[in-house]
Structure 1
Amino acid sequence: MTEMNYRTALVTGASSGLGRGLALWFGKKGVKVYAAARRRPQLEALAREARASGANIEPVELDVSEAETTLERIRELDDACGGLDLVVANAGVGGMTDGRNFPWEHAKKVIDVNVTGAVATLSAVLPRMVERNRGHLVGVSSLASCRGLPQNAAYSASKAFLNTFLESLRVDLHGTQVRVTCIKPGFVKTEMTANIQHMMPFLLEAEPAVEFMARAIVRGEDEYGFPWPMDRAVGLAKFVPNVLFDAVASKVVL
């Protein structure tokens, strides 16, 4: 599948960072993009920028943590455009959830957005895609999903859930023309990482990160982690024995 095969796309979390970049990238390729997020002013600014470059981006005010509203709104968009070809569940939140002083309210927010919101986004028009026998579902996970990182129980677990959810969908849809892609970025300069104080190895600027992601989507990759040195490192981390992983990770201060 190439970008010219997408007529329409929905990108959540599009008011800033990677979501904003992806909306612009596909919009500039001639795709009609519905850019969804909670912050209307930022979406309006994105739409103005898109128009200046000839791209067609329509702002959609949406809070994916409100699952029922998300399902309804995405189905309305699907009706209005004659069928969404690409759905990118990019909206996400991070933040510390230290097991020694566990912040339930923040953990719930992470789960509501990263898990429930992502599933609502990806499943809203899945039956219709299957019926049409075309479409592409993309979930933006994280390399932080590889293991339970210190002080990140909710975030790491939420992204691990998304990995497995997407893999199961991919297996179920094998033999159809509906594709499933899981994107796993490492550290990228965005609003989400702006307040992180600890070291962020292989930190990428947003623009090249968006390019990596968009091209992986267009290629129809099953899974794509980047940057590659970090992807390889976390891949190896899966095989570190728990006794060693726990001893080392517990000493890390984030």
Structure 2
Amino acid sequence: MAEMSYRTALVTGASSGLGRGLALWLAKRGLRVFAAGRRLPQLQALAAEAQAAGATVEPLELDVTRTEAHLERLRELDSECGGLDLVVANAGVGGVTHGKRLDWDKVRAIIDTNVTGAAATLTAVLPRMVERRRGHVVGISSLAAHRGLAGHAAYSASKAFLATFMESLRVDLSSTGVRVTCIYPGFVKSEMTADNHFPMPFLMETDAAVELMGTAILRGETELSFPWQLALPSRLAKVLPNPLFDAAARRLR
């Protein structure tokens, strides 16, 4: 695929964690970055940090779960900025959804953000990208997408949806000039993982994860999984017979 020159980017979930780090990383490389999230003060602090580094980050207060308003705002933004070159669907939430104590409100909250919100983000200006024959959509999935993690049915399933969604888009858009990238992070230090009360092997620093992600995006790679020490067994787990996987998952739990 030919090299692409990026001018503008949208990153959702940019008020903290990987989204914040990626927005700043892209801005420092000359992109005009729209950092979207629900917490405006954090986004404004990010914009100030970017400005101090000679970069441009513009805060965008946005709730991906308000689907119609979200779609409308992204289309307006696409028109206002002369076309978004890069859209990163990063906003996501986690939480325990154990089968023995399943709570619909928790399940729905995860689906609303990780499934509906992500799909809306990726879909909003994709038809325009196809018309322009340029653009790049990125979905931040998870290594948890490969098998259902014990106690995290909704989260694993939501990330599996996003991974499959991105794969179909990649096939469909192969001759359009629009790039598709799916990223599968492992455990990364963030607000989300700070609340985890279970072992997190090969936990990565945010900056190291962002460097891997940003580099892969600008290279136009179709997939990125990290860290390799966790990515490899996660992928191998896909082919384990169910009795073996179930036994292993119970021990890890």
Pairwise CA distance, 1:221: 1.0
> How much identity, in percent, do the aligned residues show?
66
SS in 2 for 1:193: helix
The residue number in structure 2 matching 1:183 is 183
CA distance, structure 2, for counterparts of residue 194 and residue 158 of structure 1: 20
Alignment of 1:51-62 (within 5 A): 51-62=51-62
| Structure 2 runs not aligned, ≥5 long | none
The residue number in structure 1 matching 2:208 is 208
Which one-letter code corresponds to 1:57 in the other structure?
V
CA distance, structure 2, for counterparts of residue 145 and residue 201 of structure 1: 17
Which one-letter code corresponds to 2:98 in the other structure?
D
- Runs of 4+ in structure 1 deviating by more than 6 angstroms, as ranges, are 1-4
Alignment of 1:58-207 (within 5 A): 58-207=58-207
The residue number in structure 2 matching 1:10 is 10
TM-score (norm 2): 0.98
CA 1:146–1:201: 2 relative to 1, 3 Å: same
SS in 2 for 1:144: helix
Which one-letter code corresponds to 1:76 in the other structure?
E
2:233 matched to 1:230? no
Pairwise CA distance, 1:2: 9.6
CA distance, structure 1, for counterparts of residue 252 and residue 183 of structure 2: 26
TM-score (norm 1): 0.97
The residue number in structure 2 matching 1:28 is 28
CA distance, structure 1, for counterparts of residue 95 and residue 102 of structure 2: 12
The residue number in structure 2 matching 1:247 is 247
| Structure 1 runs not aligned, ≥5 long | none
Contact 1:3 1:218 in 2 (8 A): no
Which one-letter code corresponds to 1:161 in the other structure?
F
Q: How many residues align?
A: 253
Which one-letter code corresponds to 2:235 in the other structure?
G
CA distance, structure 1, for counterparts of residue 205 and residue 67 of structure 2: 31
2:47 matched to 1:47? yes
SS in 2 for 1:192: helix
CA distance, structure 2, for counterparts of residue 47 and residue 4 of structure 1: 25
Contact 1:2 1:219 in 2 (8 A): no
CA distance, structure 2, for counterparts of residue 59 and residue 141 of structure 1: 24
CA distance, structure 2, for counterparts of residue 3 and residue 169 of structure 1: 20
CA distance, structure 2, for counterparts of residue 27 and residue 3 of structure 1: 19
Pairwise CA distance, 1:246: 1.2
CA distance, structure 2, for counterparts of residue 103 and residue 3 of structure 1: 47
CA distance, structure 2, for counterparts of residue 207 and residue 44 of structure 1: 20
Pairwise CA distance, 1:121: 0.2
Pairwise CA distance, 1:250: 2.4
Which one-letter code corresponds to 1:37 in the other structure?
G
SS in 2 for 1:251: helix
- Note the alpha carbon deviations across 1:129-170, whole angstroms, 9 max, x for none: 000000000000000111011000000000000000000001
CA distance, structure 2, for counterparts of residue 70 and residue 164 of structure 1: 22
CA distance, structure 2, for counterparts of residue 4 and residue 113 of structure 1: 29
Contact 1:4 1:31 in 2 (8 A): no
